[in-house]
Amino acid sequence: MNLSLSGATLIVTGSTQGVGRAVALEAARNGVGSILITGRNAARGAAVVAEIEALGAQAHFVSADLAAANASDLIADAALEKFGRIDALVNAAGMTDRGSMISGTPELWDRMHAVNARTPFFLMQRAIADMRERKKPGAIVNILSINVHGGATDLTVYSASKAALALVTKNAAHAHRFDRIRINGINMGWADTPAERVMHAETLGKGPDWLPEQAAQQPFGRLLVAEDVARLAHFLLSPASEPMTGALIDQEQAAVGPRDA
């Protein structure tokens, strides 16, 4: 099974921590040539660049707020200027916040969809354009959410933004199948990430004990971790998953649909 990304140039958004960082490091361990990482914290960005370079790959950090209208061009231009091409893309960055049908605001809707759907869409557009211009195959993985199946009632706005990107994933995969550009998505379940720790311990006021309490209630005695998602993302980027495209994989500890009587 060929899991090598030998020589490839990869963009990973939101890669200064959490899932994005884990994806970048997994790629570096598997021979990727160069990685452009993005985030809003320059110190964390420098640290991840050092981790990647220690694994033998080139790395470059771009500071980018995905809510900004020019974020996709800023990131794509940097990758092309620094490395000359885009072979693969992982849209790992994401914004999460509570917002139901009743409590959601226009401001939350606009920012959530900008970060979770608009910028990933236009970054895909730039990556696909480069692949097609060079007449080269490529791979794109979008980190989605298990909430695309309907979502918790206090996550209506978030769920809608991830569902939008899920549709784009399948639509673009169909449109570019003969370009040999494979586009797949991961419907990530509940995961222990830095953002999730802040959300539950601080924003929702559950305190530091929320994680072991919730982990004990899960089938495998833990939440997903970033490395779980990174391994699946790496498989989808690699030749091992060819020719699969347009797949949305539920990475969760329970099957979607069945219910206990």
Q: What is the pLDDT of residues 11-52, one digit of tens each?
A: 999 999 999 999 999 999 999 999 999 999 999 999 999 999
pLDDT of residue 260 exceeding 90, the answer is no
CA 64 and chain centroid, separation: 15
Which residues neighbour 75 within 8 Å (Cβ) at sequence distance 6 or greater? 11, 13, 36, 38, 62, 64, 123
Residue 64's alpha-carbon distances to 78, 81, 102, 179, 182, in angstroms, are: 11, 16, 31, 29, 25
Question: pLDDT band at residue 257, thresholds of 50, 70 and 90?
Answer: confident
Q: What is the reported pLDDT for 187?
A: 98
pTM of the model: 0.94
Q: Which tens digit of pLDDT belongs to each residue from 87-119?
A: 999 999 999 899 999 999 999 999 999 999 999
Q: Which tens digit of pLDDT belongs to each residue from 205-237?
A: 778 888 888 889 999 999 999 999 999 999 999
CATH topology of domain 9-191+223-251: Rossmann fold (3.40.50)
Whether the bond between 258 and the residue before it is cis, its omega within 30 degrees of 0, is no
Residue 154: how many other CB atoms lie within 10 Å: 17
Q: What is the reported pLDDT for 189?
A: 93
Q: Which tens digit of pLDDT belongs to each residue from 130-171?
A: 999 999 999 999 999 999 999 999 999 999 999 999 999 999
Catalogue the E-assigned strands of the chain: 9-12, 34-39, 58-63, 88-91, 138-145, 181-188, 191-192, 224-225, 248-251
* Mean pLDDT score across all residues of the chain: 95
Q: Which tens digit of pLDDT belongs to each residue from 50-70?
A: 999 999 999 999 999 999 999
Q: What is the reported pLDDT for 54?
A: 98
Sign for the CA dihedral angle at 131, 74, 146, 25 comes to positive
Please classify residue 233 by burial: count the beta carbons closer than 10 Å to its beta carbon, then call 0-12 exposed, 13-18 middle and 19+ buried: buried
**Domain limits, the chain:** 9-191+223-251
Q: Position 195: which residue type?
A: A
CB 190 within 8 Å of CB 96: no
Size of the chain, expressed as the number of residues it contains:
261
* Token output for 105: 């605001």
